[in-house]
Each structure stands twice: as C-alpha cells, then as structure tokens.
Amino acid sequence: GENVEQHPSTLSVQEGDSAVIKCTYSDSASNYFPWYKQELGKRPQLIIDIRSNVGEKKDQRIAVTLNKTAKHFSLHITETQPEDSAVYFCAADYGGSQGNLIFGKGTKLSVKP
Amino acid sequence: GAGVSQSPRYKVAKRGQDVALRCDPISGHVSLFWYQQALGQGPEFLTYFQNEAQLDKSGLPSDRFFAERPEGSVSTLKIQRTQQEDSAVYLCASSFLNEQYFGPGTRLTVT
C-alpha cells in the first residue's frame, strides 16, 4: 500500500526566511497531493494541492512542486511570518479513484519573530 | 457556506462504554471520510462513504468500530466497548473533486 514519508519533523526559521518541507510516496498510481496546516487543537486546513499532471503550483507565498518520476513533492513557504507556525502535513491519495488520503507524520514549523 | 461539523467536540468514556460520534458534512458533498489522529501523528484513514454506500472500511482497527451514513448525509462512527487505545481525535472530512475538508474533530478520552 501507499506510504508517505515526511521530513523534517521539526523546522525552526527566522521570520522572513523560507521554509521547505519534503515528502516522498511509494504508490506510483497516486495522483493527488494535498498539504494541510494544523494549528494546535484545530482542524487540518487544506492550504494547497497539486495533481500529477502539473509540476508546480503557486499561491502567494506558498508553492508546491511535484516530481512524479522520483515520487517526491515539496512545500515551499517564502517570507515566513509568525502566523505560519503550525504543524504541516503532506498527503497522497491511495492510488485509486476513491481518494482516501495517506498522511505523512507532520512537520512542526516554528517561525521566530 | 457552513463547513463540516462534528459532535460532540469532547467525549470522556469509561473503558467498556459505547460511544457514538456524529459528522455533518458540507451540503452536497458525496464523499465522506473518517480518520483517527493520535497525539503528534498525522490522520489515519478509517473508512469511506460515497453517498450511503460504505466503499472502504479497511482502516477500521477492529470489529468494535462501526460507521454508517444511512441517508447519504450525516454519518455516525460508533465504537463499542471502548479501550484506552481508542483515545484519539476522530476527524471527519467531506470531499469535492478530491479536495477533503475536515471537521473540528471529536477528542475521545477513554479512562
């Protein structure tokens, strides 16, 4: 079955710096790769996603890249702000049409002012 | 519009009790998912519905876990004879075009 590995588990950056989180997946049939932000005690929030027919997608300070050949995808946050501090999860769909997601273990991002 | 809602938000159960967790999906969303999130971990898939049909229950950890969505809208996750290892946050998500939107979760504590 699908396995998603996420690195690093913790990341600390200064405000204004960039942050990069990387994920790898195992199921070559996966086609959908969302990223979620979860603040303490809150629900996971979808922040950006990418589908397998696209190599890169950007939304303001957030971008995601996908390398299907290497089976890895990354989240890039530029000009980080303290409110970006949260746990970020990558996920991949389970290689079928039903869409249930397999999540990475999360990256705790801390942005120091 | 309204997002996914779940109730109760918190539930404390004594070991051996049965619990029922409710999920109200976004109106019109055909697909509904249940996940279990342990402390410090990512959500783990439990089960999936398309309308009222339960198409995948491969993630349910034991036969004490049961989910239903009889009218294709509201869903209930039931856990019978709760055990301490069932303590977790139970998240529901509804989906449109693969994009899954999560509810706030129910934090279950089994004492």
Report pLDDT for B98: 83
Calculate Rg over the CA atoms of chain A. Answer: 13
Among partner residues B44, B55, B105, which is closest to A98 by beta-carbon distance?
B55
Residue B1 has pLDDT above 70, yes or no: no
pLDDT tens, residue by residue, B64-103: 999 999 999 999 999 999 999 999 999 999 998 889 999 9
**DSSP 8-state code for residue B84:** G
Chain A CB within 8 Å of residue B7 CB? no
Residue A23 has pLDDT above 90, yes or no: yes
Chain B CB within 8 Å of residue A58 CB? no
- The CA distance from B34 to B66, in Å, is 11
Report pLDDT for A2: 79
DSSP lists the bridge partners of residue A67 as A72
Percentage helix, strand, coil for chain B under 3-state DSSP, each rounded to 5: 5, 50, 45
Name chain B contacts of A43, Cβ cutoff 8 Å.
Answer: 4, 91, 102-105
Q: Tell me whether residues A105 and B104 touch, CB distance under 8 A.
A: no
Find tokens 């509804």 and name the residue. B94
Q: Give percent of chain B with pLDDT exceeding 70.
A: 99
Q: Tell me whether residues A100 and B105 touch, CB distance under 8 A.
A: no
Going A66 to A68 to A69 to A71, the CA torsion angle's sign is positive
CA-to-CA dists, residue B72 to A58, A63, A110, B91, B102, angstroms:
35, 35, 40, 18, 17
Chain B CB within 8 Å of residue A84 CB? no
Report pLDDT for B97: 81
